[in-house]
Structure 1
Amino acid sequence: MTSPDAVSLITVSYNSARALERFWAGHRFVPYEWTVVDNGSSDDSREVARRLGAQVVALDSNQGFSAANNVGASATDGEVLIFCNPDVTVTPDGIATLADQVRQTGGIVAPQLVNADGSLQENGRGIPYLHRKVRHLLGWDDPGYVRLAKASEVIDVAWVMGAALAITREDFLRIGGWDPGYFLYYEDHDLGLRMRSAGLPVRINGDVRWAHGWRRETRRNLTVAAWRNEFRSAARFYRQHPYCLVPLPGRAADQVRRLDVV
């Protein structure tokens, strides 16, 4: 199994004190190193994280999710990086499984996230064509988009939610880390497609199941700030990955379509 010294857990917090208390207090992640990068919180996120056993990197202002994740990677030494949100409950055996798998296969390996009732959460996705994104936001099913890993399954996907994923430091540096041009939203889409474009897999391991208290503001609350971030990130993503606008014929579209395994 992977040595604890070879793994670094990285969590970005922003006014996340309550989430840290709920999902990390009383749960074992030791002996793995845990670093919390705090994005200028106004609550006591930093104090809570330290009390729970984290090394805290305190930023003066909110730099965004991607930039803060990159800070966390630079502040740690692990051979394997596991990025995990404040509202995810990690487990030592799950950490070891993800780390061992990603060292063997490269690319990205994520757990199958689950809701509080144990039901599977949709953290694996197919190619984010614009029409799929719109249908999904409207609550319409698209079996080619949402991917779920059953127990004993390891499935290939185009991208995984950034709430929890493992990647070797070598591959992380190879693709240039998280794109800091994304303040929030779509950064995980971009990370997954860049990994796949580099010829490396993006997978979900159905035997690792971590609880995630998912709260997507653009689906549950009509806040102006959330929608502004959504549209800005979407515009950046589709400029960078125009073959995801619509599945039209063409070399670029054909290349990405081969990644869209159903």
Structure 2
Amino acid sequence: MGTDGDVALITVTYNSARALTEFWRNRPFGRYPWTVVDNASSDGSARVAEDLGAQVLALPSNVGFSAANNLGAASVDAEVLIFCNPDVTVTADGIAALAGDARRYGGIIAPQLVNVDGTPQENGRGTPFLSRKAKHLFRLPDERYQRFARPGELADVVWVMGAALAVTRRAFDALAGWDDGFFVYYEDADLGVRAWQQGLSVRVDGDVRWQHGWGRETGRGFSPHAWKHELASAWRFYRKHPYCLLPMGRRAHQLHRIDSAGAMIGVRA
């Protein structure tokens, strides 16, 4: 099973004091070490995180989500890394389960995120073809893009939202970590697509259900600052993965197979 020191939680904050207070106030991580990488917040996030029991790495400037996650990973010595947002409430049992899944399957594993009322969020996703991203932007349902794992199920997906995921150090190093060319947005889709390219699975564990506040700025009306990052990241992603823009070729076919297999949903024995 491993010891507590074999697993490290990493959270990136940027003006996240309120979220930390709401979602981490009861120290839900238990005995597991928790590192917070603060992107030069101005609201006291670093102090709040320290008060809640985190080891804080305070950065002098905002380097973005991906780069901060990589710095957090480099600052800890652990066999399993669990990246989790400040607006996610983890559980000690869930941490142990995800760490076990990561060791067993060797790829990326995520909890099934849920809303405050317990309804599931589609943190598991299918292939991010541009047509699907457009449908999702306009809140049109797409069962092959929005994926869920029920209790007792372990679901293969193309990618998972970066709000919460676990990965072994070995797999993380094989992926060369998060692509810090993404300041924010699309970095999680990129990580999942690259994982499948390297023969690593991406899964959602329906038995681990963590509450997620989910406050993406581009979903709450027009914000020029947020959309600037969204469009810049989309440009980088589709240049890097052109088969997700025009779904043709071997790599697009590989991702199609994951979609078509019904995400290879398996029921635990």
- The answer to whether TM tops 0.5 is yes
What SS does structure 2 have at the residue aligned with 1:259? helix
- Look up the equivalent residue of 1:252 and give its one-letter code: R
Which deviations, in whole Å up to 9, do the C-alpha atoms of 1:56-98 show, x marking residues without a partner?
A: 0000010000000000000001110000000000000000000
What SS does structure 1 have at the residue aligned with 2:135? helix
Q: Structure 1 residue 29: deviation in Å?
A: 1.1
Q: Structure 1 residue 45: deviation in Å?
A: 0.3
Q: Structure 1 residue 221: deviation in Å?
A: 2.4
Other-structure match for 2:255: 256
Q: Could you tell me how far apart the structure 2 residues matched to 1:55 and 1:27 are?
A: 13
Question: Where do residues 78-157 of structure 1 align in structure 2 (5 Å cutoff)?
Answer: 78-157=78-157
Q: Which runs of 5+ in 2 are unaligned?
A: 263-269
Q: TM-score, normalized by length of structure 1?
A: 0.98
- Look up the equivalent residue of 1:100 and give its one-letter code: G
Other-structure match for 1:190: 190
- Look up the equivalent residue of 1:135 and give its one-letter code: K
What SS does structure 2 have at the residue aligned with 1:206? strand
The answer to whether the 8 Å contact 1:84/1:163 transfers is: yes
The answer to whether the 8 Å contact 2:156/2:202 transfers is: yes
The answer to whether the 8 Å contact 2:65/2:184 transfers is: yes
The answer to whether the 8 Å contact 1:243/1:256 transfers is: no
Other-structure match for 2:266: none
Q: Could you tell me how far apart the structure 2 residues matched to 1:239 and 1:37 are?
A: 29
Q: Could you tell me how far apart the structure 1 residues matched to 2:253 and 2:46 are?
A: 46
Question: Where do residues 1-262 of structure 1 align in structure 2 (5 Å cutoff)?
Answer: 1-248=1-248, 250-260=249-259, 261-262=261-262
Q: Could you tell me how far apart the structure 2 residues matched to 1:78 and 1:185 are?
A: 26
Which deviations, in whole Å up to 9, do the C-alpha atoms of 1:208-253 show, x marking residues without a partner?
A: 00000001111112110100000000000000000001323x3332
The answer to whether the 8 Å contact 1:185/1:229 transfers is: yes
Q: Which runs of 5+ in 1 are unaligned?
A: none
Q: Structure 1 residue 257: deviation in Å?
A: 1.9
Q: Could you tell me how far apart the structure 2 residues matched to 1:148 and 1:252 are?
A: 24
Other-structure match for 2:267: none
- Look up the equivalent residue of 1:119 and give its one-letter code: T
- Look up the equivalent residue of 2:75 and give its one-letter code: A
What SS does structure 2 have at the residue aligned with 1:258? helix
Q: Structure 1 residue 26: deviation in Å?
A: 1.2
Q: TM-score, normalized by length of structure 2?
A: 0.95
Identity percentage of aligned residues: 61
- Look up the equivalent residue of 2:33 and give its one-letter code: E
Superposed CA RMSD: 0.9
Q: Could you tell me how far apart the structure 2 residues matched to 1:217 and 1:26 are?
A: 27
Other-structure match for 2:265: none
The answer to whether the 8 Å contact 1:27/1:89 transfers is: no
Displacement over 6 Å in runs of 4+: none
What SS does structure 1 have at the residue aligned with 2:88? coil
Q: Could you tell me how far apart the structure 2 residues matched to 1:253 and 1:202 are?
A: 16
